[in-house]
Structure 1
Amino acid sequence: MKHGNDFDKHDNQASALGDFLRAARERLAPEDFGLSKGQRRRTKGLRREEVADLCGISTTWYTWMEQGRTTAISVATLAELATGLRLTEAERAYLFQLAGRTDPALPHEKHEGPAPYEALVAAIRSPAYILDRYWDAIAWNQAAAKLFCDWLVSPLGQREKFAPNLLRYVFLHSNAPNLILDWEERAWRLVAEYRADSAGLRHDAVHQALVDELQAVSPVFKEAWRSQKVLAREGGSRGFLLPKEGKRFYWQYTLRMAQQNEIKLVVLHPQDCDEGFY
């Protein structure tokens, strides 16, 4: 049984979704869709039945959504609404968020090259690196290269067969279990975090190839992936055993880029801050 707060939360969510749909509809110009503005139009923008027709859904169903009577909207319908209402990328993301759904269409990558990210991580003194949607490292600083010398080894302009991928390193490199304290626990958590992070990549060929490769080679990854565990990529203490320095502990911060949500900046700040380490 749902408590009063649960009903209030659902009602507020449905109301916010309805308000957003109505505002999006009212700002559309009929003439932009080949429709006559007409003398008898009493509403701003398009009529509900016109939007419903553009989106390929019934007028009744659209009306219910706009009136805040439901949030049980399929991903396919949300995608049709985004297209029919001509939403921007940010508006589409907001629509899916209001409906509590994951958008299967990730934002298009902006091919700006690694230079802006290299400048960002270079300005950070602690080990820092940037991951893309597949958890390939696309930029890192010298402190990160020193900490992860077995992973971040390829010069950025001279890739080998693969870009430095965090999952490939953790599960396939022989030295990863020696470097990462509590390796198996951390490895299982990484898989659960990647599953959550890649929810929108279910039909992505690159993502599926990576998962298939790791399942074929790593029994630990295969078991962890099939467990269906999901965790948010959060911060916390991370321990490493370095050959010369011994055990070192860092506090991990993971930040997402506002312009490209699938890009993550990871910073490891030393808990036992030793200026001589840098």
Structure 2
Amino acid sequence: MSEAIRLQALSAFLKSQRSRLSPESVGLPTGGRRRTPGLRREEVAQLADVSTTWYTWLEQGRSIQVSHSVLDSIASALRLTVDERKYLFSLAMEHYSTLPVPEPETFRLPPSLQKIMQELRYCPTLISDRRCFIVGWNEAATQIFMNFEQIPFEHRNIISLLFDRKELRRLAVNWEDLVSGFLSIFRGYFGRYVDDEWYNLFLDDMMNRHPDFQPLWKQSSVNSAPDVWIEFRHSKAGKMLFDLTSLQVQGDSDLRCSIYTPAPETATERKLMQLLERSNVF
């Protein structure tokens, strides 16, 4: 990622976080009518105990020196979460990561992870890499979503599939919630691997091909492990309710496990069992 793009991303993030806070939420007087929602720049500077000019330059995306302590003060002023703080520091202090992306031709899931997916037979499970490409799945995921084996790796990106495939848009009743969950994960990767030009090329491609992508991307938060409740309308099983939990897999490959757990006290698990039985899996 170029210096200009990194600073632009930092600027957009600071503005979006500032707009989400009200003076009342941080203990400041309202100060009369406001033309735009959120805090003013001078109010953030006041809360962070920095000069308004310096904070303005930072939010404008100028190339200025920043320190850990000052960024920590800004993060506190903006009420950032742990994941949002990491994102801020990654963009502002250029802590680039050089962790390589697994090559699809040679990459193999660890046997332990394959075993875990098999044991989660009634929980559709996907394994993805740091670019959100699907590198593993169980049979339950195939029954609910699609046969990923038939999709070439270069087209097997979770985010692009959610926008490209009409059957996935029809499947998820609260499709935007599902997309927002994965975008919050993707934004965390985007900040962590700011030296990887692939992310910027991917975002440009998505914005050019899907007009509804840009507003969702701009509104997305930063969350490494969002919990999302999803309602599916499956073509064969009908209404199905899942809790989506995203887990970071420990290790050098930076993999993520997305588990769709059937909602308790619903018929979802029974319906999933019937789908698997019809496919002669068990």
Cα shift at 1:142? 0.7
Distance 1:240 1:260, change over 3 A: farther
Q: Distance in 2 between matches of 1:176 and 1:196?
A: 24
Identify the range of structure 1 (246-255 vs 267-276) with the bigger mean alpha-carbon deviation.
267-276
Tell me if structure 2 keeps the 8 A contact 1:133–1:198: no
TM-score, length basis structure 2: 0.56
Cα shift at 1:233? 3.5
Q: Secondary structure at the match of 1:233?
A: coil
Q: Distance in 1 between matches of 2:160 and 2:115?
A: 26
Partner of residue 134, structure 2: 137
Pairwise CA RMSD: 3.1
Match for 2:254: what amino acid?
Answer: E
Partner of residue 118, structure 2: 122
TM-score, length basis structure 1: 0.56
Q: Distance in 1 between matches of 2:203 and 2:259?
A: 25
Q: Secondary structure at the match of 2:166?
A: coil
Partner of residue 89, structure 2: 101
Does 2:145 match 1:148?
A: yes
Tell me the alpha carbon deviations over residues 118-165 of structure 1, each in whole angstroms, 9 at most, x when there is no partner: 44422321111101001100000111011111xx4335xxx6361411
Match for 2:189: what amino acid?
Answer: D
Partner of residue 8, structure 1: none
Q: Secondary structure at the match of 1:101?
A: helix
Identify the range of structure 1 (262-271 vs 231-240) with the bigger mean alpha-carbon deviation.
231-240
Tell me if structure 2 keeps the 8 A contact 1:168–1:214: yes
Partner of residue 179, structure 1: 171
Partner of residue 32, structure 2: none
Larger RCO, structure (CA 8 Å, separation 6 or more):
2
Distance 1:259 1:227, change over 3 A: same
Q: Distance in 2 between matches of 1:254 and 1:185?
A: 14
Q: Secondary structure at the match of 1:216?
A: helix
Tell me if structure 2 keeps the 8 A contact 1:114–1:139: no
Percent identical residues:
16
Does 2:154 match 1:162?
A: yes
Partner of residue 113, structure 1: 107
Distance 1:188 1:128, change over 3 A: closer
Tell me the alpha carbon deviations over residues 46-74 of structure 1, each in whole angstroms, 9 at most, x when there is no partner: xxxxxxxxxxxxxxxxxxxxxxxx84388
Match for 1:262: what amino acid?
Answer: D
